[in-house]
Amino acid sequence: MSTTSSPRTRRHQRTQQAILDAARAIISHEGVTALSMRAIAERIDYSPAGLYEYFDSKDEIIAAVCDEAFDQLTQTLRSTDPTLPPREFLRECGVNYVRFAIENTDAFLLMFTNAPLAAPPDAPAEVMLRQSPAFMVLYDAVQRCVDAGIFTPRADYDVLAMAITCWQLVHGMAMLTVTIMRTRPPDLDACRRALDVLLAGIAAQ
C-alpha cells in the first residue's frame, strides 16, 4: 500500500530521508564528531529547529542512520556468491563483514558503539533483533555447512553457538582492523586464513 500516502506524507518522508542522507554524508566525509544538528540543517537548507519536525532528537537521527547501515551490512552479506560450496560461502560471508567495516568505517563504529550506548537498557530484544537479519545470513551459512555434513552440532555446541562464534571472530577482526590496527593496511587474506582455522576447529568438533 505505497500509493495510499498523501502528498504531504510523501513530502514528509522525502525530507526525512534528506536529513538522513545529509547525516550520512557528513559522517563519511568529516567524521562522526562533525555531525551536528546545525551541520545537517545547513546542508539541506533548513533551520536547526526545523529538523525537530522530523526527528525528536539527534540520537534518533543517529539511530535511523544505524538502521540504514545495518540494512546495508545485511545486503553486503547477502551479496556473497551463493554458488560457492558451503564452507567457502561461510568464509566469504565473514570476509565481506570485514570488508564492510573497512569500507564504511565510521558507520560501522557508529552502529556498534554509539548506538548501543544511547539505547536504554530496557530494550532487550529490540536492539538484538535490529541486526538479526545480518546475523541470520551467517546463521543460514552455518546451517548449510551442517546440512552438508561439514559441521556436526552437539548438545553443548549447537548451530546457534557455532554461528555466534563465527560472528564473534569476524566482529573482532573488523573491530580491531578499524580501531587499533587501522594504521596498518587491512589484509583480507589474513582474515580468510583465520576464518579457515576457526572453521576447521568447528568441523573437528
Partner DNA sequence: CGCATTTTCCGAACAATGTTCACTATTAGA
Partner DNA sequence: TCTAATAGTGAACATTGTTCGGAAAATGCG
Q: Is 113 in the site for its own copies (CB under 8 A)?
A: yes
Q: Is 15 in the site for DNA (CB under 7 A)?
A: yes
Q: Which is nearer to its own copies, 150 or 164 (CB)?
A: 164
Do residues 98 and 188 make contact, with C-beta atoms less than 8 angstroms apart?
Answer: yes
Stretch of 18-26, 43-51, 81-89, 192-200 lying at the interface with its own copies (CB under 8 A):
192-200
Phi-psi region of 90 (alpha: psi -120 to 50; beta: other; left: phi over 0): alpha
Residues contacting residue 44 through CB under 8 Å, at least 6 positions apart: 15, 18, 19, 22
Residue 199 binding: pick among DNA, its own copies, none (C-beta 5-8 Å cut-off by kind): its own copies
Q: Is 8 in the site for DNA (CB under 7 A)?
A: yes
Helix (H, G, I), strand (E, B) or coil at 85: coil
Stretch of 46-54, 101-109, 123-131, 148-156 lying at the interface with DNA (CB under 7 A):
46-54
Nearest CA among 191, 3, 160 for reference residue 96: 191
Do residues 186 and 102 make contact, with C-beta atoms less than 8 angstroms apart?
Answer: yes
Return residues touching its own copies (CB under 8 A).
31-33, 109, 112-113, 116-117, 121, 123-125, 127-128, 131, 156-157, 161, 164-165, 167-173, 175-176, 179-184, 190, 193-194, 197-202, 204-205
